[in-house]
C-alpha cells in the first residue's frame, strides 16, 4: 500500500512537471522587439524633409533608390549617383550629387553608409 501511494505521488509530480515545462516551452517570447528606424530624406531643392520608416538596415543609397527614381554608375558601395528624379549632375559643368548626414557631408559613399535612427539625409548637386 505504501509503495502504491509513493508511486502515485511520483506519477502525479511527473505529470505536473511535464505539463509545466510543455506550457512554458510553447509560450512565445514576449521580449522580442522590432526596432524601426525613422529617417528624414531631402533631395535637391525640396523645401522639406520627407519622413521614412524602415525596419531593415539599409544604405543611404538603398533608401534613396527605394523612394526615388535614381540613375547610378556602378553598383553597391561603388555606385556613383548620376541623377535623381530626372535631375542630372552634369560632369561638363563639374557637378556631382553629394549627400549629407545630419548636416555634415558624408565621409563614405552612399552605398556604404548604413542609415541610423534619426538620421537626416540630404542630397545636393555641388560643383568641384
Q: Provide the pLDDT for residue 96.
A: 93
- First-to-last C-alpha distance (Å) of the chain: 97
Mean pLDDT confidence for 13-24 = 74
Q: Provide the pLDDT for residue 28.
A: 59
Q: Provide the pLDDT for residue 118.
A: 87
Could you report the per-residue pLDDT of 39-51, keeping only the tens digit for each? 777 787 777 778 8
Could you report the per-residue pLDDT of 69-92, keeping only the tens digit for each? 999 998 888 888 999 989 999 999
- Separation CA 43–CA 63 (nearest Å): 12
Average pLDDT, the chain: 83
Mean pLDDT confidence for 22-40 = 61
pTM for the model stands at 0.65
Q: Provide the pLDDT for residue 31.
A: 57
Percent of all residues in the chain with a pLDDT value above 70, rounded to a whole number: 86
- Separation CA 9–CA 1 (nearest Å): 12
Can you give the residue ranges of every domain in the chain? 37-127
**Does domain 37-127 bear CATH number 2.170.130.30?**
yes
Q: How far is CA 89 from CA 41, 67, 70, 72, 95, in A?
A: 18, 19, 12, 11, 5
Amino acid at each position: 500500500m505504501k509503495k502504491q501511494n509513493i508511486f502515485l505521488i511520483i506519477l502525479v509530480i511527473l505529470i505536473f512537471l511535464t505539463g509545466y515545462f510543455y506550457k512554458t516551452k510553447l509560450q512565445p517570447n514576449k521580449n522580442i522587439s522590432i526596432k524601426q528606424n525613422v529617417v528624414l530624406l531631402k533631395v535637391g531643392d525640396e523645401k522639406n524633409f520627407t519622413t521614412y520608416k524602415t525596419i531593415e538596415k539599409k544604405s543611404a543609397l538603398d533608401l534613396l533608390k527605394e523612394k526615388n527614381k535614381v540613375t547610378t554608375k556602378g553598383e553597391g558601395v561603388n555606385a556613383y549617383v548620376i541623377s535623381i528624379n530626372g535631375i542630372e549632375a552634369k560632369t561638363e559643368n563639374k557637378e556631382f550629387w553629394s549627400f549629407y548626414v545630419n548636416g555634415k557631408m558624408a565621409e563614405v559613399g552612399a552605398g556604404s553608409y548604413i542609415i541610423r535612427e534619426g538620421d537626416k539625409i540630404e542630397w545636393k548637386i555641388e560643383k568641384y
